[in-house]
Chain A
């Protein structure tokens, strides 16, 4: 009797949750997939166009460019964020004064909204940095980073990293705290110091945290949107159009609902593939060590 009651309760909880999830996640996913075979503008009538959108996708220079940009951005930002976060975490985990205050300060960027942060940095890039460059005679600062196709993407990396470092640092700190003291004591007897200590003792023990950070970072950066919206709107010369931005811009606004649905399907496949790849790759690495 009791066992049945328990089972029934669990079912009664799980089924509505599954329905909710299906209705607002899986169903739109399927609909998006269906729209990807049409030339739907988002309004009015539409026709079936078969695989045309997918064929176009691989020939469309603008889409190609947006993938290149998004990947370049995500990879560079992931590396920069993880290197700086790790260094910061080591620093914040060492014997320092005002430890909790410093940790608190370094986390601030994470609570701020990406859009507003983007607007603030946009002003700094357009007006403050060129002013400083002009007055101090620093050549490369004289013109706005956002105005050149060569540097605009890196300006976005800077802003995205400024915010993301906060979260990753905290994750690394919690990782470092799981490293037991006696590991170091054992290492100290072997004469491990500095870099070799980090490489041989600390790092292997925080690899799970490294994995989390890499996967989360990469996933978030691949979906970059707010920073693009507030810093460049995809410019100059379409050099900073991220995939999400392009899907939003042309799908909602540009009358390419059908085509951008196909783009979104491809994007989904890419994200899953990368995440699976990262996880299996990291797992292998972990086993080796």
Chain B
């Protein structure tokens, strides 16, 4: 176990246990409203009746006044599961020149902080990985022990594997979550969105059913965001066999445009289905990112 842990240079993101708590302490830790509409005490609005709805919640006043069948909905303070999916493929081990650490380290820190927040508010936390050596999924549980198990699982993984060549890894993790996650569960996918196999976006979109929310956090290295290279470079991807020889100065503009295009493509798939894409780099403040994940109304500063 220790040997496996030592294979990843966590950089500024270690030790994960302390850093995760520190990040979580800096984040708003109050109760959060469930997006689940149903029986409760606080009115949450109307919707059109559909066959099968509980007749107890038909708004009689509206029926008499307008002659329409409208259902009354209520918001309720309730337990919600937090499902974390961390991309542990080889590309997540990348740390560019001058960065604080590998992308996986940053993603693990965010995941651990989210898990800590959830555990402290009594929610259940589950974890699964996309690829990675030594990866093991953690079923959703509540309590301090659950947090410890999440931490252990995060620390035991070494980023490796080529997801583009192993689509079953993605499929397995996401389909398992689709089965295990309850209605109203919050699902957070921490990935660089690079070298993912075809159909991944559709599989992610499938997670938004049954009132479950999906937030895809794209974790990039600052070098991937800025393309800071100079002169002639031979760029080799960590997954697949892509090698590109180019003049950095000549290619920078086109690369940045391609990256923005790819991000827009992801957004186009997720947003109409209730999903959300958050962009981040490993140099971002983790507290800020966790706050953005927890509160959809918080927009990124700057």
State whether these chains interact: no
